């Protein structure tokens, strides 16, 4: 039996699909299942039991002997939310409860951290654990993820295997419900479909031309492959970057989206909203050598490959993974 928290969400629902494909069908999904727009993410998947997130720890007390692994991917992920209490409740304290339960019941754990922990990137994007206490995220969401990473590293009691994954800019199927927090590719596709054109944020940084802001975009299919690897690997506990390892420009992303749709590029620029400018990351790129060093050897999707697969096989078809 494998537990996936946040299972109705984007990355976690893709993981459930990947687990099913590998013949793991005793999946227990944990979430707040009252959000109707997430229902398509789990439709048709092989699931043993649905557990409300508020009742999860009671359920685990009764069923821990059957649980082989926990993927804790549930979190509040809105980077524009500034109510710290929300993040303390859902991201920090809930995660501490998951960790402590995994220690008590000797269940291996993979949990979601975030590249938002790196803040402006002044300390780089190396997943060396010694630098984690020095990081300065740019928003309460990033703070909550870094606070938990720091807390986990300080614990004397740890699950016999655990890994925190610093997700970079993940994109791919099953993000239909995410609204403004969906990937730029998702928004680009919908703008192009509706208007035949799209807008990118103008640069407000002298070192970056308009559209040349860079991110490490990682396809969700790569993210779930890393999760599968860690579930089977179960050694070398620690915190790991999870990006493609290659920064690409928003312009490249936009041009690839037009290309995948078979439409001539038509790109305009708009000012970055003032409330976002101070906290805007102009460059992110995951150093992936740590994950590689423990034996992960699959090639990651290039931006070209990932955008084409996402646009043509999911967005244009209205399909889920």
Question: Of these residues, 178, 199, 246, 308, which one is catalytic?
Answer: 178
Per-residue confidence (pLDDT) for residue 247, from 0 to 100: 97
Q: Is residue 259 part of a domain?
A: yes
The mean per-residue pLDDT over the stretch 107-124 comes to 95
Residues 183 and 168 in one domain: no
Residues forming the annotated binding site for NADP(+)? 10-11, 31-32, 38, 53, 73-77, 145, 170, 178
Q: Is residue 130 part of a domain?
A: yes
Q: Is residue 87 part of a domain?
A: yes
Told to judge if 290 belongs to the known catalytic residues of this protein, a careful annotator would answer: no
**pTM listed for this prediction:** 0.95
Residues forming the annotated binding site? 10-11, 31-32, 38, 53, 73-77, 145, 169-170, 178, 180, 187, 201-204, 215, 280
Residues 73 and 203 in one domain: no
Residue 152: pLDDT band (50, 70, 90) is very high
Contact (CB, 8 A) for 10 and 74 = no
- Neighbouring C-alpha atoms within 13 Å toward the C-beta of 169: 25
Range of lowest pLDDT (72-76, 182-186, 308-312): 72-76
Containing domain of residue 206, as a range?
179-214+248-279
Told to judge if 246 belongs to the known catalytic residues of this protein, a careful annotator would answer: no
- Separation between Cα atoms, residue 177 and residue 208, nearest integer Å: 31
Residues 155 and 114 in one domain: yes
Contact (CB, 8 A) for 286 and 205 = no
Q: Is residue 139 part of a domain?
A: yes
Segment 15-72, tens digit of pLDDT: 999 999 999 999 999 999 988 899 999 999 999 999 999 999 999 999 999 999 999 9
Per-residue confidence (pLDDT) for residue 41, from 0 to 100: 97
Domain count, the chain: 2
Residues 132 and 209 in one domain: no
Give percent above pLDDT 90 in the chain: 86
Backbone angles phi, psi at 69, to 5 degrees: -160, 145
Per-residue confidence (pLDDT) for residue 68, from 0 to 100: 98
- Complete DSSP assignment for 120-183: TSTT-S---GGGGGG---SSHHHHHHHHHHHHHHH-SS--SSEEEEEE-EEE-SS-TT-GGGS-
Segment 201-242, tens digit of pLDDT: 999 999 999 999 999 999 999 999 999 999 999 999 999 999
Residues 121 and 191 in one domain: no
Does residue 91 register a pLDDT over 70?
Answer: yes
Give percent above pLDDT 70 in the chain: 97
Per-residue confidence (pLDDT) for residue 112, from 0 to 100: 95
Residues 112 and 260 in one domain: no
Residues 269 and 159 in one domain: no
Residues forming the annotated binding site for substrate? 169, 180, 187, 201-204, 215, 280
Residues 166 and 198 in one domain: no
Residue 117: pLDDT band (50, 70, 90) is very high
Question: Of these residues, 111, 118, 125, 141, which one is catalytic?
Answer: 141
Does residue 2 register a pLDDT over 70?
Answer: yes
Residues 143 and 168 in one domain: yes
The mean per-residue pLDDT over the stretch 121-150 comes to 93
Does residue 257 register a pLDDT over 80?
Answer: yes
Q: Which CATH number goes with the domain that contains 160?
A: 3.40.50.720
């Amino acid at each position: 039996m494998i537990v996936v928290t946040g299972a109705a969400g984007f990355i976690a629902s893709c993981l459930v699909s990947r687990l099913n494909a590998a013949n793991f069908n005793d999946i227990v999904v944990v979430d707040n299942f009252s959000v109707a727009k997430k229902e398509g993410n789990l439709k048709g998947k092989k699931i043993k039991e649905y557990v409300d997130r508020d009742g999860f720890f009671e359920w685990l007390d009764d069923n821990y002997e059957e649980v082989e692994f926990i993927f804790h991917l549930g979190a509040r992920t809105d980077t524009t939310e500034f109510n710290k209490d929300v993040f303390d409740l859902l991201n920090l304290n809930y995660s501490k409860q998951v960790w402590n339960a995994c220690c008590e019941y000797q269940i291996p754990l993979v949990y979601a951290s975030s590249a938002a922990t790196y803040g402006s990137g002044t300390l780089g994007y190396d997943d060396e654990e010694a630098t984690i206490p020095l990081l300065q995220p740019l928003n309460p969401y990033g703070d909550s993820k870094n606070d938990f990473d720091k807390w986990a590293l300080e614990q004397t009691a740890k699950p016999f295997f655990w890994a925190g994954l610093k997700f970079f800019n993940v994109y791919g199927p099953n993000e239909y419900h995410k609204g403004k927090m969906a990937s730029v590719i998702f928004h680009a596709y919908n703008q192009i479909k509706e208007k035949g054109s799209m807008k990118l944020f103008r640069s407000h940084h002298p070192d970056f031309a308009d559209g040349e802001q860079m991110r490490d975009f990682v396809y969700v299919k790569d993210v779930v492959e890393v999760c599968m690897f860690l579930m089977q690997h179960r050694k070398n506990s620690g915190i790991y970057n999870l990006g493609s390892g290659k920064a690409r420009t928003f312009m490249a992303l936009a041009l690839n989206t037009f290309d995948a749709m078979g439409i001539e590029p038509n790109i305009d620029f708009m000012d970055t909203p003032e409330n976002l400018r101070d906290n805007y990351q102009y460059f992110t790129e995951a150093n992936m050598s740590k994950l590689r060093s423990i034996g992960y050897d699959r090639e990651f999707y290039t931006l070209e490959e990932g955008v084409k697969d996402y646009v043509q096989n999911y967005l244009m078809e209205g399909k889920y993974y």
